[in-house]
Structure 1
């Protein structure tokens, strides 16, 4: 199904950048009450509302890049363990600890998302991301919520003594949108399927993700280019300018349609060569095929096995596992 796209992928991971960029245009849409915070408060930034139509400024919620890539990376690592590509058992040959000294430095997670481990080596991430900004103002996008910690009996008293475990915290409210450009650089076809699957399969973001933080990632389009394109903030501001009434944000289906128009217009302004773009029906067909792969154990196992071979080969040839070249002495 994606055979016509395979010309846009590298056949093997290169040692240096080769100008193969895949941009995923995404609307991250909150479905519960996520918490994106630092030092106990929600992250915010004051920015211009739009690019040209709305030049006033307001505070926006910020979803820092690690709040986005870390959950997706962990989703991928879970899948790798499911198919025994990696293991959490320290005595296993395929053992890989998360992002530390004991990471294997050669599995799909290590090579695609990168690592930096002092003298043990480093690998640059092939997933480019940046902080995302809420489409709507902070004032209308969050809610302060009071919570408590009841006893095992379910009451706020235990043994006749009142518990005082009550606190207050700001949460992002449901149906807040964070427009995002996630960029993949120099990846193989199998690497693309793995990274795209991580994006589509991740459901929880932010702090307290076991209790809240549900989000849905709506893929608006994919562009294969020879360079990087516009930022998350520029996409957010341009989309805000598309709104007829910023005081009444439309539903996600209408936002996806507006976002497609916005992305097309922004791409037309970029000094890059677009070798292929996917929108609308063509994108829907491609996503149906990718989702089908993840519903087929044999198909996704074959892709992950092939990807694992590719990343091991890269690590042994160019990465942290490569043997240092022996310089010949002068005669």
Structure 2
């Protein structure tokens, strides 16, 4: 992308086991567009919450687990890789798969998000993250819904026996806003585009995502820096400083977007290095160029080129590790 040429010094040309200080932060406002349940599928536990202090005192806020968010975004990316045969096989001939012993170590997903199993060994993730928080308290944005499962006769009774499929779930309402940042460490331009694609294209999160869980991710800004910026908690507290204490759900998207964007500089306040921001018109230019690229085969060609580089590196590393070291005393 031509736009990214202005920030070439913040990208890595190739992977190294020795990290450097190249950080890229994506600032995302996540908006629920249907009911969403932030818990493990079928587990029945309540929504994750944390007590957070603000200028109004201490309140409980909903937590969107970063582990769950990344899992959904990884699946989005892997669908693209699978569709274009960019998921590779392990030494045993098994196709690369999540949460199994079949990590190939040669695809974009393995090399960016990391892995810890498979014959490729292990690799530390280069996507740094933490849990995200709702802007309003849990009392404002959540509710409970009772569910049941009826038989084909239209009742919950079959052969004189009552169905046991009756319960309730706590859910997040539509129109809720959640602050999140995704930090990339020592990535190439193609790897950056892959993560950006995953964030913009993923639109279902949480449990029962085939029926609920619809969300939209709004990218508010990008920061290029030599160290990691502030936390989601700092960002939330800065917004609370500007938000009216009488604010109630649902908040207007344009109001939240303005407050969240204005609060971004606080995250660089304690950073002891230069921070290059991409916001406003520059951000729109970057996103427009990305969308144009994504609608052509050029983006897939970049992914394929990056994957071939992984394969070459993996093969070379395996070859070097397979060479026998001379024993002590051998000539």
With structure 2 as the length reference, what TM-score do the two structures score? 0.88
User: What secondary structure does 1:323 align onto?
Assistant: helix
Q: Which aligned segments of 4 or more residues in structure 1 are displaced greater than 3 angstroms?
A: 90-94, 152-164, 313-318, 324-331
Query: Counterpart of 1:203?
Result: 203
The answer as to whether partners of 2:225 and 2:274 remain within 8 angstroms in 1 is: yes
- Cα shift readout 1:73-111 (whole Å, capped 9, x = no counterpart): 0111111011111269x9996821213222112211111
Which of 49, 56, 66 is the aligned partner of 1:44?
49
TM-aligned CA deviation for residue 312 of structure 1 = 2.5
TM-aligned CA deviation for residue 120 of structure 1 = 5.9
The answer as to whether partners of 1:221 and 1:260 remain within 8 angstroms in 2 is: yes
User: What secondary structure does 1:167 align onto?
Assistant: strand
Counterpart-to-counterpart distance in 2, 1:168 and 1:321? 55
Summarize the alignment of residues 158-307 of structure 1 with structure 2, pairs less than 5 Å apart: 163-248=163-248, 250-274=251-275, 276-296=276-296, 298-307=297-306
User: What secondary structure does 1:84 align onto?
Assistant: coil
Gaps of 5+ in 2: none
- Cα shift readout 1:197-229 (whole Å, capped 9, x = no counterpart): 000000111111111111111111000001111
The answer as to whether partners of 2:220 and 2:257 remain within 8 angstroms in 1 is: yes
Counterpart-to-counterpart distance in 2, 1:94 and 1:100? 10
Counterpart-to-counterpart distance in 2, 1:87 and 1:151? 44
Query: Counterpart of 1:27?
Result: 29
The answer as to whether partners of 2:102 and 2:119 remain within 8 angstroms in 1 is: no
TM-aligned CA deviation for residue 245 of structure 1 = 3.9
User: What secondary structure does 1:277 align onto?
Assistant: strand
Out of 184-193 and 96-105, give the one that drifted further: 96-105
- Cα shift readout 1:159-204 (whole Å, capped 9, x = no counterpart): 6866452211100111111101110111101100001100000011
- Cα shift readout 1:132-185 (whole Å, capped 9, x = no counterpart): 111111111111001111234655455686645221110011111110111011
Gaps of 5+ in 1: none
The answer as to whether partners of 2:88 and 2:106 remain within 8 angstroms in 1 is: no
User: What secondary structure does 1:170 align onto?
Assistant: strand
Which of 321, 324, 331 is the aligned partner of 1:323?
321
The answer as to whether partners of 1:135 and 1:237 remain within 8 angstroms in 2 is: no
With structure 1 as the length reference, what TM-score do the two structures score? 0.88
Out of 203-212 and 241-250, give the one that drifted further: 241-250
TM-aligned CA deviation for residue 119 of structure 1 = 8.2
User: What secondary structure does 1:48 align onto?
Assistant: strand
The answer as to whether partners of 1:28 and 1:217 remain within 8 angstroms in 2 is: yes
The answer as to whether partners of 2:140 and 2:248 remain within 8 angstroms in 1 is: no
Counterpart-to-counterpart distance in 2, 1:63 and 1:187? 25
Distance change (3 Å), C-alpha of 1:42 and 1:312: same
Distance change (3 Å), C-alpha of 1:102 and 1:119: closer
Out of 3-12 and 220-229, give the one that drifted further: 3-12
Counterpart-to-counterpart distance in 1, 2:150 and 2:287? 44
Distance change (3 Å), C-alpha of 1:270 and 1:84: same
